[in-house]
Structure formats: structure tokens, C-alpha cells
Structure 1
Amino acid sequence: MMHDAHAIENATKLRLSDLPGPVLILAPHADDESLGCGGLIAALAEENIPVHVWLVSDGTMSHPNSVAFPPEQRRSIREEEFNRACQRLGVAFERLQFFRFPDTRVPLPGAPYFADAATQVAEKLRELNPKAIFTPWRRDPHCDHRATTALIRTAIFQTNWKGDLYEYPIWLYELAARSDVPRPDEVEVLTFELDENLLFKKKKAIETHASQLGQIIHDDPKAFSLQPQVLAHFLTPTEYYYRSHEQ
């Protein structure tokens, strides 16, 4: 479940001319940037519109029981995959940011470290001052996705940032309850269409996240792995975004 046919039919097309840059993409985990926004990132880079990608979590909990790959090594693998995926999409290393908040425990509002984490994000937001921000859908059914968007929304409030905020779905496709789905009264649905070149770049970026495709760490059989039915949602010529009516 993601949104109804009426919302898709009446979606607005997102165009690069709507995004003067710099553009900021927030990824809760290494792979979310490629899955959710890979085509858009590649298109922005092709047009020389500055795009920055911030990785929020340390990524260590996708294979929590691995002995051959302890947490520090898992983090290193995922950050390197993130770096290479972004390079394939056209984003240079100097435009990447690593926050390394604990995977599955990125602070949510009310958590002891939420205020400190939001301050860190606000400091970086103030430095970059992007014109547009892309963050996961606020009710995407994963705690780190919700936490990421809560952090950037708090940072926006703290810095009085003025710009366009967009949200993108990841787990809405597979795990959404009805209450998770965006309502017509709270967001405008936007679509970004990918040509063959952009879709190819997005596919190659997703393939870079080999650890999440079950290709590297083999000693944790119950670990997370991106399954074909999940990947299928992201290998279409259309990316979906939401723009809040609150702005």
C-alpha cells in the first residue's frame, strides 16, 4: 500500500527547474538514497545542480549476528558502498556527510539524545543552506526513517530554514498500515520520470550496495536482505515524492 490511484493520476510532475540547488538528500541507511532518489540524484548531477547526500545511521544492524564482520567492519563496508553508489550517481565524496547515529536507534523525539542529534543536524543545515531537502516520508514504517525526518524537521525549525521540503517513500510499498499512507489533505504527490539513462544509473547504484543484496556477509542467515519484490518497486521509470501542504 502506498497511495491510491486517484493520487497517482493527479500527481504533479517534479522538474529539475523546480530545484535550483543546492539540493540535500537525507538517507537513513546506505541504500535509501539510491532506492528512493537515485534517478533524481543522477539527473541533478547531470545538470550540474549541486546535490549533497547525508547518511544518517551507521548501518551496523543489517547483519547484527555476524561474527566474521564485526560492527566496525560492517559500518566501513556500508559507508564505502554508499560512497561508490553516490559516485555512480554523480555525487563527489566531498558532498557526502556521515552522522553515524546508531542503526535502528537513530534518536526519535523524546529519546535522551534527540536534542543533541538535532543540534548536529541543524549545524550542518545552517552551513549548507540548501534550496530543497529530500527526506523519508514522515510515517515511513521504519523507526530510523521516521527519526531522520523528525531530526531534519527540528533542524529546520531551529535554523528558520526557508526552502522546499520533499519526502520520499521506501517501506510504504511493503509495510504500510492505512494510517501510514499520505493523505490528500497533507501532501501533494509528485512524480519524477526517469529516462533509460537515469534508470540505468539508478540500477547500478542500487547494485553497489552488495552487502544489502546478500552478496558479502554470509554468517547471519536471519539478517536483512533486499528481496526481489522489494527491489521491483524501485526499478521503474517513476520516482514518487510528497510535498507538504504545511509549507
Structure 2
Amino acid sequence: MGSERVEMRKRQTPATPETPGSALGPLGTGNRGSNACCFCWCCCCSCSCLTVRNQEEQRATGASHELRTDFPICEESPTPTLEEVSAWAQSFDKLMITPAGRNAFREFLRTEFSEENMLFWMACEELKKEANKNIIEEKARIIYEDYISILSPKEVSLDSGVREIINRNMLEPSQHIFDDAQLQIYTLMHRDSYPRFMNSALYKDLLQSLSEKSAEA
């Protein structure tokens, strides 16, 4: 009689299907190791291996961002004298040769939404100072991505011939890889933006301010 009851209980109790991984116990417990999900190819997995991978990617992005700060954001320069500011009107070269002149001109370019021209020129000047091959390659890549790539919002205006030369030389960049492009942008600023700068309120106000200070002295 006892054996018949046991048999009936077995028939009434539904069999529990065994699912893969059930032997490991509930999520996060049991014998599951910290790298158990490393064999999982599911993109929704939130295991530690993906966490480590995301952290590595964030560190790599941060390192790239730190390298970008090598390029000057704003040059330090003393307040220009009246003679210096007056000399800017004589030639574009005299404007660009002084940090104060470049800063004033860059401020003007910002109002015309063409500051990237000066930023590119300055980045090329910084690149020329490098001697380490690895740093040259990294800085050349950054300059290319920021100012040469057609996908960049800061892309400068270059002709197709110069772009083709740069694209070929990017396989083994040197500190002079952007020389032709830099000259082209320098010429563009000279012919296009410089005349407007000389007639701008920014330049005239600076000149007048320095003239008044000189007269008071």
C-alpha cells in the first residue's frame, strides 16, 4: 500500500525540466566564477569581462583626449605695444610673427566662425618642433582627424591635390607632412580674413586704446 502511494505521488508531481546552467545555482551565487560569462557571446551580458573591456575603452579615449591638450589653446603673450599693433597693418607676416598678433587675429576669426584655420596653422607649427617618431605619428593623426578629415566639423578648406598627398604620406608621417596644407591655409587667411581684420572694430578699438594710453603717458 505504501509503495502504491509513493508511485501515485511520482505521477502527480510534474517533472522539472533541467535548464542549462541550473547546476550553477541562482545568478551571482553558487560556483559561478568571476569570468564565467567570458564564453557568452550575448551582447546584453553584463558580466565582469565586458565591464573590464568598457573600462579599457574609456581609458584609451581619455588618453587620446589628453594628447589633444598638447596643442595650444591660447598663447601666452604680453600686452602688445602701440608700435607692434601699428606694424600689424603693414603686413600679414608682421601680424602672424607675434603671439599677441596671432591671439588678436584668432579672436577675430572666431567671430567669423573660421577659427579652425588658425588652430590648424598653430598645430602644424607645434608638430614641426617634434623629433620623437611616435609623438609625430600621434600628433599627425590628431591633426588629420581634426582638420583634414571630411567628417570633422573643423575641416579646413584644401584643394584635392594637397589632400591626396597628405593621404599618401599618412602611412609614414613626418613633422612636415602638412607643410603644403599649412601654406595654403596661411595664404587663405592672408587674402580673405586679414583685410577684414584690419577694418574690424576689434583691431580699431585696440589701436585706439593703445594710442590713448600712449598719449596719457
The verdict on a shared fold, with TM-score over 0.5 as the criterion, is no
TM-score by length of 1: 0.24
Q: TM-score, normalised by structure 2?
A: 0.26
- Using CA pairs under 8 Å that are at least 6 residues apart, name the structure with larger relative contact order, 1 or 2: 1
Q: Which has the higher helix share?
A: 2
Query: Which of the pair is proportionally richer in strand?
Result: 1
- Asked which structure has the greater CA Rg, the reply is 2
